[in-house]
Chain A
């Protein structure tokens, strides 16, 4: 993978979109994409938490695990760091920024078990990103997620009004819509080598 920051941004948002090609974070994608408003809240919460998680797990991995030669503990350490971070963010927002807390509120605890957060920490290690690259990847990845979520919620609001065969109501039609979106995103592949 190319190392330039621009390549990371375009790659994370369009070419290897977290939902549509990597399949990370499908549960919130199908769970909160019924209406546009919650989709925006979820998207913002994910951008906020994942960026922090990307930076913090990068620091923990490179400043703690590597010097101590205990990289094999990365799974346990990452998941604990992420769970603690989410708790901390929630407490902090509740105390200092009630507006943001009310906007993101219920989505924050859900994010702990979101594949994206752990996925981004593991991908940073796998690709061997530097600190700046991890930061940029940590912003671009969830932006791609939020984009797909927003597009999907717009389509699903329209779907509510249209006639769908009985067996396909609800989730099945959502999967087929996602498949068509994913096919559209395939057109971006080849931009970045």
Chain B
């Protein structure tokens, strides 16, 4: 990756993809990541929904940050985030009922996704609207890419084919291992990927680019 200055607007956009990737580097937002990463379609739907909420809440919270009293900022964040989640949930019920059914209670659970709350508290409350918008887009894409990575591995090994919106992308003559679609597969794939990333980090940078918090 090209060396970027840590102050520029490009950095705010790009950091979410690799250096501060919300799933693999900061290890946030695990519940939806593992629960819905059974197929590419679900991953794309959840990624889009979370990105929309992240974008809305980051812009809104950053716009009102100078008028928000410090002491009651957390209830305000919660109401803002819950409103955007309600919007997404109603839109999904109206326009993509099949996806809404597949994602189930994990759509309303975006409210308690640590990524969104974390970005509001750690970034949007301290930065201007443009930077917060870029931060939300970067983090949203980073989250979506992580979901796609996990779900493509799980779908491929679990069903022997990769499908996106009904079109078969790849199919292989392998015996599908059902366990990858079930719960243990999610934890196993996530564990192996985290191990892989830790290994790459240890090798590439002497100083870790991001620390893993538990």
Question: Chain A: residues with CB nearer than 8 A to chain B?
Answer: 20-27, 30-31, 34, 72-76, 79-80, 83, 113-115, 117-119, 122-123, 126, 165-176, 178-180, 182-183, 185-186
B128 within 8 A of A: no
Chain B 183-205 per-residue mask, 1 if CB under 8 angstroms from chain A, else 0 = 11111101110111011001000
User: Which of chain A's residues have a CB closer than 8 A to the CB of B82?
Assistant: 75-76, 79-80
Task: Give bound CA distance, A118 to B75, whole Å.
Answer: 16
A-side contacts of B199, CB under 8 Å: 166-167
15 example contacts (A-B, Cβ-Cβ < 8 A) are as follows A22-B35, A23-B186, A25-B31, A75-B108, A76-B83, A115-B109, A115-B112, A119-B109, A126-B104, A166-B198, A168-B195, A168-B198, A173-B195, A183-B179, A186-B182
Residues of chain A contacted by B75 (CB below 8 angstroms): 80, 83
How many chain B residues have a CB neighbour from A under 8 Å?
43
Which residues of B (80-128) have their CB < 8 Å from a CB of A?
82-83, 85-86, 89-90, 104-105, 108-109, 111-112, 114, 117
For A115, what are the chain B residues with a Cβ–Cβ distance below 8 Å?
31, 109, 112
Please state if B184 and A113 are interface contacts (CB–CB under 8 Å). no
Once A and B bind, how many residue pairs between them come within 8 Å at the CB atom?
A: 126
Complex partner residue of B191 from A27, A73, A176, A183, CB under 8 angstroms? A176
14 new A-B pairs (CB below 8 Å) besides A23-B31, A75-B108? A73-B86, A74-B108, A75-B86, A113-B117, A114-B112, A115-B109, A118-B111, A126-B104, A167-B196, A167-B202, A169-B198, A171-B212, A172-B195, A176-B187
Q: Is the CB of B117 within 8 A of A75?
A: no
Q: Specify which of B111, B192, B196 is in contact with A79 (CB 8 Å cutoff).
A: B111
**A47, B34: Cα distance in complex, Å:** 23
In whole angstroms, what is the CA distance A23 to B103 when docked?
13
Instruction: Tell me, in angstroms, the Cα distance from A115 to B34 when the chains sit together.
Output: 13
Contact, CB under 8 Å: B183 / A21:
yes
B78/A83 in contact, CB under 8 A = yes
Contact A179 B191 (CB under 8 A): yes
Question: Are the CB atoms of A122 and B31 closer together than 8 Å?
Answer: no
Q: Quick check: B31 and A167 within 8 Å, CB to CB?
A: no
